[in-house]
């Protein structure tokens, strides 16, 4: 059974600080996505990584995929209150297209 471990589970920081969220698995992903979810809403896709060692940047967010495609990280620079939310990583292990394994998420709170 594939399992995604996310850490930390909770993170409360001040505006302007940097942070990193981690996503780890014992299995190799064919692809991995990061989503952000706000209370009462569905997850919104941030990025997809496919190639081992890949780095993608989305404004202040930097996403990295491990060389062995078993882990990923999300780094946020100079966090803002608008970054508050639940960050979920989700892996596709080559099953049906919509069958993603999600981690439990990292709940981020950025205080002004």
Partner 1 sequence: ETGVTQSPTHLIKTRGQQVTLRCSSQSGHNTVSWYQQALGQGPQFIFQYYREEENGRGNFPPRFSGLQFPNYSSELNVNALELDDSALYLCASSSPGRHTGELFFGEGSRLTVL
Cα–Cα distance for residue pair 17/7, rounded to 1 Å: 17
Residues in region 14-53 near partner 1 by CB under 8 A: 30-31, 33, 35, 40-45, 48, 50
Residue 90 as a binder of partner 1 (CB under 8 A): the answer is yes
Strand ranges (E), 8-83: 10-14, 19-25, 31-37, 44-49, 55-58, 61-65, 71-76
The nearer residue to partner 1, 33 or 72, going by C-beta atoms, is 33
Q: Would you tell me which residues interact with partner 1 (CB under 8 A)?
A: 4, 6, 30-31, 33, 35, 40-45, 48, 50, 88, 90, 92, 95-105
């Amino acid at each position: 059974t594939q399992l995604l471990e996310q850490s930390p589970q909770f993170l409360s920081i001040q505006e302007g600080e940097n942070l990193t969220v981690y996503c780890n698995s014992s299995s190799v992903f064919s692809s991995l996505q990061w989503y952000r979810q706000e209370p009462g809403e569905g997850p919104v896709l941030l990025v997809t990584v496919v190639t081992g060692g890949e780095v993608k940047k989305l404004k202040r967010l930097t996403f990295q995929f491990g060389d062995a495609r078993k882990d990923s990280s999300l780094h946020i620079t100079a966090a803002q209150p608008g970054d508050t939310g639940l960050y979920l990583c989700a892996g596709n292990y080559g099953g049906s297209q919509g069958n993603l394994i999600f981690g439990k998420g990292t709940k981020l709170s950025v205080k002004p």
